[in-house]
Structure 1
Amino acid sequence: MTKPPRKPSQPLLRDADAPLRSQPRRRRDPDQSQLLLDPMPARIDPCLALLKPRPPKGRQWAFEVKWDGYRLAVYIEPKGVRILTRGGHDWTDRFPAIAAQAKRLPLSTAILDGEAVVFDELGRSDFGRLQQSLGGKGGKRTSWESVLMAFDLLYLDGHDLTGTELTARRHLLEGIVPPGGEEAIRLSEEIEADGDTLFRIACEHGLEGIIAKDRNSTYRGGRGGEWQKIKCIQSGGFAIVGYQRSSSAFGNVGALLLAARKEGQLVYVGSVGTGFKANQALELRAAMDKLKVTAPAVKYSGGRKNLIWTRPKLVAEIEYRAWTHDGKLRHPSYKGLRDEQDNAAISRIADGDGG
């Protein structure tokens, strides 16, 4: 015969009507392990897109528009907001609208990755307008019209997300920056389309190109291939090694003489005489005249007259269609001067570029 259960010596509730009370909190043992939050990193090296001639195939690839602006990382903390350039320089004061919008986001701490842009009348990002809003090369103006097109979330409320796959990071980002907004921080939306189709449409609408991202990839700095860029129009940074003086051109600058790096040396890659407006030409002339030298920094045999040579300290952003057979830029157009604080690198060309 089984025995009945023993009556507990201390009932769970002495008085059924008495309120429940929690156990008194004990002082924490300093040697006891605890769940730690990830510290906010001072800076994360940006993931950079690898240039490819055509979009990749496969369901793992997500596609976005390629924005033409300045790469920024926005660090949000209770003590304030920091906006860092790709090179790690603090430009918080130069983007006040973006900084103000970041403070209003529904979170405590975060790191947003994105591109600061200024749009033209057709809604396309325009690098020249962005530079003008900032006061040009070395300018100190603040750009109230700049918009951050946010495309990644690297840190959120005490958690480092760089080891998380892109799909999860994007899901969290969309909860913070919803699509369709008109604020100073907007979502760079993924576009549900075949890569080839999207690339064709982007080029037809005069966009710079598209970006392809591996949905399953984690976030790591550098050009590892997880992100790829496919450009309708090629562009790059080229050193200004001189200019052709012209009495009939804005600022008396008829054309800029350009150079790129090849096998560790600067080589002449042609000239550009279109794309800059009157005020840009005047600023260029003033900057170049401070860098005059008597001998060119490159081998030159172009036969142009009235040439003024300069030290290769200024880096111009140039759009171009292709390379000629003799290694010159085809149909180049001036877009603006790259700022040293934005990691103004001179393009490197391989043996296959222009022969």
Structure 2
Amino acid sequence: MTDRPRSKPLLADDKPVKGRIRKRRDPAQPNLLLDPMPHRVEPALALLQPKPPSDPRFIAELKFDGYRLAIHVEPSGVRVLTRGGHDWTARFPAIAEEAKTLGVASAILDGEAVVLDEQGRSDFGALQQSLGGRGGKLKSSEALFFAFDLLYLDGHDLRDMELSSRRHLLEELLVGQEGPIRFSEEIEGDGNAIFNASCEHGLEGVIFKDPDSPYRTGRTGDWLKVKCIQSESFFVIGYERSSVARGGVGSLLLAARKGDDLQYVGSVGTGFKEKVAIQLRETLDKLESRKPPVSYGGRRKNVVWAQPTLIAEIEYRAWTDDGKLRHASFKGLREVQDNAAVYEIHD
């Protein structure tokens, strides 16, 4: 067997290595194509469905109950944007710091910020309180960001790529991450079985996604959501005074959109503790209105009407025959910057 030839040393004793003088780039030679990084991307949204899809191709993820966010990792730093495009980087400092350690030059991660309860379930009220309530200025040290999509990576716009490939890249990016930023795992199995199990464990529901779909803004049907318990956003249009209830608030009066008007959809008297009730009363008193902002034929006493400014997330079981919420429970107030869609009634 012959010996492998030895490589010549880079530096010889008598002749130093000299590089060739580079010629100017030929203007006719094409540049390496890189996609400009979007300043902001309108999010893809899940379409509400009464039951899981029958298509076995659809992948399943747990539905989180928090704030939809996009993390932009840029050469100049990190931005954390709300669904409405507002910069909340300062409100989630731990998430922003974690994003700096991902080892990429540029990226856009789509996901949701949550606070988990003792059972590991996302708790919207706890997230709100960690931020100081609606309009609060606290920095949440408890929030986690569960990333479920990757829209841009190191100069390449991935939105036209199929979801399965985007999630593969995202999983590789987040492998081993157990800090504030985590990968939203896919749940394997039959869609109906996954949904039933999530409801049995008291979870929000399940998101089903077409693995072959590109990333498209809005409710296109590529993503579907099936909820265990109904939860929607409504305007708070007043409250009923009470000398018995904690905080002096007997119930909150709610309204939904109907065309260009609002329609009264009932009230909610559970789900808020004394501290939250006091904050609600003080805020609504500042928004007090002499006239009800909706057509109201009720007989409630001691009602304080308010301008329809506050948006509340309400959990409920069903609708009554006369268009009112049944078994409603208050979960928390939505931020204006969250761009939450108020429930709309269609004829």
The bucket for the TM-score relative to the shorter chain is over 0.9
CA 1:18/1:105 → structure 2, altered by over 3 Å: closer, same or farther? closer
Greater shift after overlay, 284-293 or 26-35?
26-35
1:25 paired residue number: 22
1:200 paired residue number: 196
For this pair of structures, how many residues does the alignment match?
335
1:169 paired residue number: 166
Per-residue deviation, 1:21: 8.2
CA 1:27/1:264 → structure 2, altered by over 3 Å: closer, same or farther? same
Q: Distance in 2 between the 1:274 and 1:50 partners?
A: 28
For structure 1, list consecutive stretches of 5 or more residues without a partner in the other structure: 1-15
Read off the aligned partner of 2:131 and give its amino acid letter: L
The answer to whether structure 1 residue 74 and structure 2 residue 71 are counterparts is yes
Q: Distance in 2 between the 1:204 and 1:22 partners?
A: 70
Work out the percentage of aligned pairs sharing the same amino acid: 62
Q: Distance in 1 between the 2:19 and 2:110 partners?
A: 44
Name which of 143, 146, 151 aligns with 2:148.
151
Name which of 314, 331, 342 aligns with 1:346.
342
Aligned residue for 1:293, secondary structure, equals coil
CA 1:31/1:248 → structure 2, altered by over 3 Å: closer, same or farther? same
The answer to whether structure 1 residue 270 and structure 2 residue 269 are counterparts is no
Per-residue deviation, 1:58: 2.2
The answer to whether structure 1 residue 319 and structure 2 residue 318 are counterparts is no
The answer to whether structure 1 residue 291 and structure 2 residue 287 are counterparts is yes
CA 1:294/1:40 → structure 2, altered by over 3 Å: closer, same or farther? same
Q: How does the TM-score come out when normalised to structure 2?
A: 0.93
Per-residue deviation, 1:279: 1.1
The answer to whether structure 1 residue 309 and structure 2 residue 305 are counterparts is yes
Q: Distance in 2 between the 1:331 and 1:110 partners?
A: 43
Q: Distance in 1 between the 2:291 and 2:334 partners?
A: 24
Name which of 102, 105, 109 aligns with 2:106.
109
CA 1:295/1:28 → structure 2, altered by over 3 Å: closer, same or farther? same
Read off the aligned partner of 1:157 and give its amino acid letter: D
For structure 2, list consecutive stretches of 5 or more residues without a partner in the other structure: 1-6, 11-16
Q: Which runs of 4+ in 1 moved over 4 A?
A: 16-24
Q: Distance in 2 between the 1:67 and 1:320 partners?
A: 17
> Per-residue displacement from partner, 1:140-161 (whole Å, max 9, x unpaired)?
1100110000000011111110
Give the conservation status (yes or no) of the 8 Å contact 1:211–1:230. Answer: yes
2:3 paired residue number: none
Name which of 110, 118, 121 aligns with 1:124.
121
Q: Distance in 2 between the 1:291 and 1:251 partners?
A: 17
The answer to whether structure 1 residue 47 and structure 2 residue 44 are counterparts is yes
Q: Distance in 1 between the 2:255 and 2:150 partners?
A: 37
CA 1:133/1:17 → structure 2, altered by over 3 Å: closer, same or farther? closer
CA 1:339/1:57 → structure 2, altered by over 3 Å: closer, same or farther? same
2:228 paired residue number: 232
Q: Distance in 2 between the 1:301 and 1:310 partners?
A: 17
> Per-residue displacement from partner, 1:284-329 (whole Å, max 9, x unpaired)?
0111001111110111122111111111111111011111111000
> Per-residue displacement from partner, 1:29-87 (whole Å, max 9, x unpaired)?
33432112111110011000000011112232000000000000000023210000000
Q: Distance in 2 between the 1:225 and 1:52 partners?
A: 10
Alignment map for 1:253-268 (pairs within 5 Å): 253-268=249-264
Aligned residue for 2:52, secondary structure, equals coil
The answer to whether structure 1 residue 133 and structure 2 residue 130 are counterparts is yes
Give the conservation status (yes or no) of the 8 Å contact 1:55–1:199. Answer: yes
Q: Distance in 2 between the 1:251 and 1:106 partners?
A: 49
Give the conservation status (yes or no) of the 8 Å contact 1:255–1:273. Answer: yes
Q: Distance in 1 between the 2:115 and 2:181 partners?
A: 12
Q: How does the TM-score come out when normalised to structure 1?
A: 0.91
Per-residue deviation, 1:233: 0.8
Q: Distance in 2 between the 1:195 and 1:23 partners?
A: 63
Give the conservation status (yes or no) of the 8 Å contact 1:244–1:254. Answer: yes
Aligned residue for 2:277, secondary structure, equals helix
Per-residue deviation, 1:277: 0.9
Q: Distance in 2 between the 1:331 and 1:18 partners?
A: 82
Name which of 46, 57, 62 aligns with 1:60.
57
Per-residue deviation, 1:108: 1.6
1:329 paired residue number: 325
